[in-house]
C-alpha cells in the first residue's frame, strides 16, 4: 500500500492535537508529510467527471439529474488525471439524523478504495461499506429525460420527491435511463432472475445472460466480471497444467486458442502450444528452450541454434 493511504489517519491525529484546524490545513499537512501523490476534489459537474477514463455504464450519458439535485462527486486526482470517483450525498436522512454519505468508489486501481474510506472517516462521513440500512435523500427535481443507474440510492419516490436505499415507486437499476417496465425480459441462470433485454448480454461461452454492467466483451464474446482472475491453460509438455498469472479474463483456452496466441501469452509452434517464457525466437523462428534444437552458451548467456539438429519449427 502506498504511504499516501495513511492520509486519513494523519488527519485524525492532527485534529486531536489542533482541534480547530481547518480541513484545508489538514489536507496540506498530510500531503507534505507523506510526499503524497494524490489529492481529493469535490466537484459539481458530475456529467463531465463521468467522461474520464474510468469505465462505467453511465459513461457518456446525461447525468443532469444529479446536478439538478445538488449531488456532488468526490474525485481522486493524480497528475491532473482523475483515477477515482464516488458520488457524494449531503444531508441524507438516517435514523441517527442527517449526515453526508460517500457512495461506491469507481477506480482505476481497486486498492485506492482504502483512500476513499479513510478520507470519509476523516470527514466524519458515512461510507459505502458501512452498511447503513436505510437512508433518504430529498430531491429538488424528479423530472428528467434520463434516470441514471444507482448503486445505493436506487429507489425513487416521485410522490415524496425522495431517493431511498430500501423502498420506493421505482428502482433505478437500468442503464438506459428508463423508469417504466415496458421492456422484454430474459432469464439469467447466474442471477436466478429476469433481466431487461436492453440491459442484458448473452455469453456464448457460459450459455447464459448477464447484466451488461457486470460484463466484458473479449474475443467476440461476453464474459462476466467474476471471470477475472487467473487461468489454467494446457501447454506442452502434454497434460501439464500451468497457472498463468497477470491475464485479464478466465477463458477456456481450447475454445479460444487464437485469443491467447494473438495476445502473446502462449506461442504456437507447429500446432503445439508453449508458454512464452519457455521458448526463444532465433532467426525469425520460435524454438523450445529445453530441446535439442537450441543450445545455451554459458559465456554469452544466450541461446543459439543447434546446427547439428534437424528442426522444422515455423513462426
C-alpha to C-alpha distances, 171 to 57, 88, 148, 151, 311, nearest whole angstrom:
16, 20, 11, 10, 65
How does pLDDT run across 32-64, given as a tens digit for each residue? 454 457 899 999 999 999 988 888 888 888 899
| Domain residue spans of the chain | 38-130, 185-226, 231-305
Residue-level pLDDT at 199: 83
The C-alpha R_g of the chain, in whole angstroms, comes to 26
Please classify residue 180 by burial: count the beta carbons closer than 10 Å to its beta carbon, then call 0-12 exposed, 13-18 middle and 19+ buried: exposed
Full-model pTM = 0.49
* pLDDT lower than 70: segments of the chain: 1-14, 24-36, 131, 133, 180-183, 218-219, 227-265, 273, 309-315
Residue-level pLDDT at 62: 87
Which residues have a Cβ under 8 Å from the Cβ of 190 and sit 6 or more positions away?
206, 208, 209, 210, 224
Cβ(86)–Cβ(105) below 8 Å: yes
Residue-level pLDDT at 4: 39
Backbone angles phi, psi at 209, to 5 degrees: -100, 140
Residue-level pLDDT at 254: 47
Residue-level pLDDT at 173: 82
Residue-level pLDDT at 251: 40
Amino acid at each position: 500500500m502506498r504511504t499516501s493511504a495513511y492520509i486519513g489517519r494523519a488527519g485524525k491525529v492532527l485534529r486531536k492535537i489542533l482541534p480547530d484546524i481547518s480541513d484545508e490545513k489538514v489536507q496540506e499537512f498530510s500531503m507534505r508529510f507523506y510526499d503524497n501523490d494524490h489529492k481529493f476534489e469535490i466537484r459539481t459537474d458530475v456529467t463531465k467527471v463521468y467522461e474520464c477514463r474510468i469505465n462505467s455504464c453511465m459513461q457518456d450519458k446525461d447525468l443532469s439529474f444529479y446536478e439538478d439535485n445538488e449531488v456532488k462527486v468526490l474525485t481522486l486526482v493524480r497528475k491532473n488525471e482523475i483515477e477515482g470517483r464516488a458520488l457524494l450525498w449531503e444531508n441524507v436522512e438516517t435514523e441517527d439524523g442527517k449526515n453526508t454519505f460517500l457512495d461506491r468508489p469507481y477506480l482505476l486501481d481497486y486498492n485506492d478504495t482504502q483512500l476513499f474510506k479513510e478520507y470519509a472517516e476523516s470527514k466524519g462521513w458515512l461510507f459505502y461499506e458501512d452498511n447503513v440500512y436505510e437512508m433518504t435523500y430529498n430531491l429538488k427535481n424528479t423530472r428528467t429525460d434520463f434516470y441514471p443507474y444507482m448503486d445505493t440510492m436506487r429507489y425513487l419516490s416521485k410522490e415524496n420527491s425522495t431517493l431511498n436505499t430500501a423502498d420506493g415507486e421505482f428502482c433505478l437499476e437500468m442503464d438506459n435511463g428508463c423508469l417504466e417496465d415496458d421492456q422484454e425480459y430474459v432469464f439469467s441462470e447466474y442471477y436466478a432472475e429476469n433481466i431487461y433485454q436492453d440491459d442484458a448480454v448473452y455469453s456464448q461461452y457460459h450459455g447464459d445472460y448477464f447484466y451488461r454492467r457486470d460484463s466484458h466483451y473479449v474475443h467476440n464474446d461476453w464474459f462476466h466480471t467474476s471471470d477475472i482472475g487467473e487461468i489454467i491453460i494446457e501447454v506442452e509438455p502434454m497434460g501439464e497444467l500451468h497457472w498463468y498469472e497477470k491475464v485479464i479474463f478466465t477463458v477456456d483456452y481450447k475454445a479460444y486458442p487464437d485469443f491467447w496466441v494473438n495476445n502473446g501469452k502462449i506461442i504456437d509452434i507447429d500446432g503445439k502450444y508453449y508458454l512464452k517464457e519457455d521458448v526463444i525466437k532465433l532467426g525469425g523462428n520460435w524454438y523450445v528452450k529445453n530441446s535439442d534444437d537450441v543450445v545455451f552458451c554459458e559465456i554469452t548467456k544466450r541461446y543459439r541454434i543447434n546446427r547439428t539438429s534437424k528442426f522444422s519449427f515455423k513462426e
